[in-house]
Structure 1
Amino acid sequence: MFLNLLALSIVLLLAFLKYRHGYWKRRGVPHEAPHFPLGDFKEWRATKCFFEILAPIYKKFKDSAPFAGMFMAFRPVALILDPDLVKSILIKDFNHFRERGVFSNVRDDPLTGHLFALEGTKWRELRQKLSAAFSSGKMKHMHPVVVKVAEEFKKVLEEKQATAVGGVIEITDLLSRFTADIIGVCAFGIECNSLRNPQADFVVMGRKANIDRRHGFLLDTFMEAAPKLARTLRMRQTTQEVNDFYMGIVRETIEYRERTGVKRNDLMDTLLELKTKDGNDGGLTVNEIAAQAFVFLIAGFETSSTTMGYVLYELAKWQDIQNRLRAEINTVLERHKNQFTYEAMQDMRYTEQVLSETLRRYPIVGHLVREADIDYKTADPRFTIEKGTMVIIPVYELQHDPHYFPNPEKFDPERFSEAEIKSRPACTYLPFGDGPRNCIGLRFGKMQVCIGLTYLLRHFKFSVCEETEDHLNFQVEKIILQPINGIKLRVERL
């Protein structure tokens, strides 16, 4: 009897799953036949990056419908193909696509209670409160702190270059330690000095936070495909080691600053103001403060450093662009009496173009995720995105579409002249997202990169060497776009 019931249950389950995989076919939405049991994502983290999963579907269907159908395991996913629909989702009709639909479990995994994952009223209130932490005024206060770290970075690179065989250096490790030292000071109020000590706890744990996974591939996929069910089951994402380390740092920092009254004009100061400003009514808890500081680390640790690595990689290949960028830096600093102020940084227009083109070629996160909260009718009456459907916006594919960016594999900062920007359709360039839920830390991220590049290019020349790869390959197991073998360049002092 038991075996009969078990067999019947298996048959019914398989029938349901097969029915589930017929979702897009029944609705007349173009799609590829899904694979059992992981849908369209069976090769993700095994042999392909996330953008490599999306690319063939984007190219095949982009002229046939405003979106294509996909499956993350058995969850239907709408892959958005039309920039006008992207604009509607991110900006015009944002109120119907406010949520990201990603995993968060504040009760059991407090470090997941950060701005990126929160939903509804909680997200809106926290976003409003945290906006002050990333205003231009706050950036101006933090600018000298970042400059101080950049000065140390220059000294460390001089020492490393002096002993490197042929001047060849793997640059990404140094860059990640540079950004880690910045985030340590600006977000946690600690000087970890990883530029001098590569095994500093803060950096080691930062890498663990980005790499170590609490579960295996199947459970991770389940949590991503069914985040609400995973939360109901009280699943956790953060490893205990990472949780204990960062919760400990935040508690110690809060206790020290409240006891001594120390003010540093950094992110932690802003978070502490939010903790006390409203008393017990609406103020942030210690866990909430820890979660925001933690996501600042996760979002900024490897993203900014990897972007800097890609900038230097392209500049090493395109010496004329490197020379022009260096000339602008020197000219602007001369105009500001050789004082690298916040205002001087704002005057570096070509630097902004180079950074923008780098982020087009190498968007650190190659897709955006949203979730529909109504049955949303598109401009084409044949297609509706049903309530609860996961929506993926293929940033990498849009930014490499020759229709919007001719010869997309060529590195060309002139794409971001004012005239070129105006000539392109909106929402085809989205390295920081767009609309009310864009990246709140984009000013800080750009500031880190600009300051770092200024100090590097004033004092060093970067060029390719025999160990520099002609084409970079990316780590398949990560969401962010990172080179497998790092980036090796020849570095010469000027």
Structure 2
Amino acid sequence: MSLALFLTFSVALVSLIYLWVKKKYSFHAENGFLYDEPSFPFGSFKGVVTKTHPVYIMKRIYDKFKGKAPAVGFYRLLSPSVMILDLDLIKTILIRDFDNFHNRGIYYNEVHDPLSAHLFNIEDQAWRKMRVKLTPTFTSNKMKMMFTTVLNVSNHMVEMIKSEENLDMIEVKEILAKFTTDVIGSSAFGLNLNAIKDPNSEFRRMGRKVFNTNTNVILKFMIFNAFKSTARKFGGRIFDAEVTDFFTRIVKETIDYRLKNKIERNDFMDLMIKMYIEPDENGDKLTFNQVLAQTFLFFIAGFETSSSTLTFVLYNLALNQDIQDKLRDEIKSTILKYDNKITYEAMNDMKYLQMVIDETLRLQGPVLGQIRIADNDYQIPNTKLVIRKGTHISIPTYCIHQDPEYYPEPEKFDPERFNEENKKNRHQMAFTAFGSGPRNCIGERFGYMQSKIGLISLLLNFKFHPTEKTQVPMIFDKRSPILAPPDGMWLKVEKL
């Protein structure tokens, strides 16, 4: 090829790419939406991971357009998305018009990446069937059956902390992650993982591997979600082969052992095995890969979100000693009413404990937002704006939780925001830490339970204080998929 021909071809190719990108980035303007100006190739997310956490970018867009329109456009790489700003519209989308927004549009690959094909990601009838099958696992009665198991693990955590030689500065985030890892191991797999005492626990290592992301992993996830069909065609995998092999082996060994020895337990795996070997009323049984994916979801959702919540509760209590003392007094006085025993009923009677957790979920909750995708064109009520079929919808949970219209002085830690009167006077969609509507978090009860048990055990035995390594104010780790401190959570622990 001559130089002139090569240059001509190169210019033509660059021009075509430019026109294609320009067309992509004209989507919101053509549909009449106010929108955040994109920058190639990251769209609205320039600087994500390398300079800032995605939640700060979403908050910038939210604050810029709040009050100007019920919804605003932005871009994930080249893909147009719509952020819903109006709480009434959020309620309409998540509840009344759920049938048009029942899918999340998140990449999964049942064939090449079976761990990804779990309840959170799967779509349409597959999701509906799986949701119905799994719902009985998380009833109040099931939680009550698991209560003692979680309490025993929390007691082991307390003993481990007491055995530490230096409590003047201790990294609590890792301890809490080990606690929730052991809880999930016992509740889901019936295994005594002993991650609390074993720093080399394989389960804990795999948990770190899933959540210790880097720039390449996050960019891969964004690209797979922007080009799902192409990624599936070429066998795109979100999860590392080592993680997949580990959980495949553990689930298979657990199923084989229980079936061989006719072991039945009131836990998550027990329900999975029954659906694996026994057909339902329609003659359907779960495949092994379906059991594998749901068990994996239970693990990653149960250990990381709850350990993150517990970490930030202790952080907030360390910075607010009066609130910590008030909560400890409630725990002690409530237990006295129940013959000085920590019981399921006593836990549920601790109203201030619930308020403290909810205020933490408002300030530093693991759920940054909710994602939906439009199945069909959707005209926003009382406007001419139309959300086009296939467009991603973002419900900016974190941004709403930080909005001074709903929470005056939003940076202040104030559990009284969640007393009954204040909750009653606030819009239903102003607090959605576990989502809302038919596709809300199925494990909400379990998440609250293990967080409450962990806090009860810790606050009865220790008092928590900030140290010179405690970050104030908190700047979130830009590499973490959920909100997390960048260098661990360092607190002083005082024995009581």
TM class by shorter chain equals over 0.9
Matched, 1:21 2:22: no
Distance, in Å, in 1 between the alignment partners of 2:255 and 2:218 is 36
Deviations 1:231-279 (A, max 9, x none): 2332111110000000000000000001111122110001111112217
Question: Greater CA deviation, 215-224 or 319-328?
Answer: 215-224
Matched, 1:417 2:414: no
Match of 1:148 in 2: 152
CA contact (8 A) 1:68 1:80 kept: yes
Matched, 1:315 2:317: yes
Q: How does 1:230-379 map to 2 (within 5 A)?
A: 230-278=231-279, 281-379=283-381
Corresponding residue to 2:36 among 24, 32, 35: 32
Instruction: Calculate the TM-score normalised by the size of structure 1.
Output: 0.96
CA contact (8 A) 2:213 2:481 kept: no
Three-state SS of the structure 1 residue aligned to 2:197 is coil
Distance, in Å, in 2 between the alignment partners of 1:470 and 1:41 is 26
Match of 1:477 in 2: 479
Question: Greater CA deviation, 377-386 or 169-178?
Answer: 377-386
Corresponding residue to 2:448 among 439, 446, 449: 446
Distance, in Å, in 2 between the alignment partners of 1:255 and 1:81 is 49
Counterpart amino acid of 1:298?
A: I
Gaps of at least 5 residues in structure 2 are none
Question: Greater CA deviation, 105-114 or 223-232?
Answer: 223-232
Distance, in Å, in 1 between the alignment partners of 2:116 and 2:416 is 39
CA contact (8 A) 1:214 1:237 kept: no
Distance, in Å, in 1 between the alignment partners of 2:342 and 2:192 is 22
Distance, in Å, in 2 between the alignment partners of 1:76 and 1:254 is 43
Distance, in Å, in 2 between the alignment partners of 1:340 and 1:111 is 36
Match of 1:197 in 2: 198
Shift of 1:29: 0.9
Shift of 1:215: 5.4
Three-state SS of the structure 2 residue aligned to 1:105 is coil
Matched, 1:94 2:94: no
Gaps of at least 5 residues in structure 1 are none
CA contact (8 A) 2:100 2:376 kept: yes
Counterpart amino acid of 1:119?
A: E
Question: Greater CA deviation, 415-424 or 21-30?
Answer: 21-30
Counterpart amino acid of 1:278?
A: P
CA contact (8 A) 2:170 2:492 kept: yes
Shift of 1:211: 2.3
Instruction: Calculate the TM-score normalised by the size of structure 2.
Output: 0.96
Three-state SS of the structure 2 residue aligned to 1:486 is coil
Q: How does 1:111-122 map to 2 (within 5 A)?
A: 111-122=115-126
Deviations 1:329-369 (A, max 9, x none): 11111111122121111111110000000100112121111
Distance, in Å, in 2 between the alignment partners of 1:360 and 1:213 is 26
Three-state SS of the structure 2 residue aligned to 1:79 is strand
Distance, in Å, in 1 between the alignment partners of 2:431 and 2:76 is 25
Distance, in Å, in 2 between the alignment partners of 1:379 and 1:285 is 42
Shift of 1:47: 1.1
Deviations 1:261-312 (A, max 9, x none): 1122110001111112217932111111111111111112221011111111
Shift of 1:217: 5.0
Corresponding residue to 1:127 among 123, 126, 131: 131
Matched, 1:65 2:79: no
Shift of 1:421: 0.4
Counterpart amino acid of 1:175?
A: L
Distance, in Å, in 2 between the alignment partners of 1:274 and 1:140 is 22
Shift of 1:478: 2.0
Match of 1:136 in 2: 140
Shift of 1:380: 3.2
Corresponding residue to 1:42 among 38, 41, 46: 46
Distance, in Å, in 1 between the alignment partners of 2:220 and 2:344 is 46
Distance, in Å, in 1 between the alignment partners of 2:215 and 2:291 is 22
Distance, in Å, in 1 between the alignment partners of 2:304 and 2:156 is 19
Evaluate the alpha carbon distance shift between residue 93 and residue 35 of structure 1 in structure 2; reply closer, same or farther with a 3 A threshold.
same
Question: Greater CA deviation, 281-290 or 254-263?
Answer: 281-290
Deviations 1:449-485 (A, max 9, x none): 0000000001111112222222112111222101102
Evaluate the alpha carbon distance shift between residue 363 and residue 212 of structure 1 in structure 2; reply closer, same or farther with a 3 A threshold.
closer
Evaluate the alpha carbon distance shift between residue 102 and residue 258 of structure 1 in structure 2; reply closer, same or farther with a 3 A threshold.
same
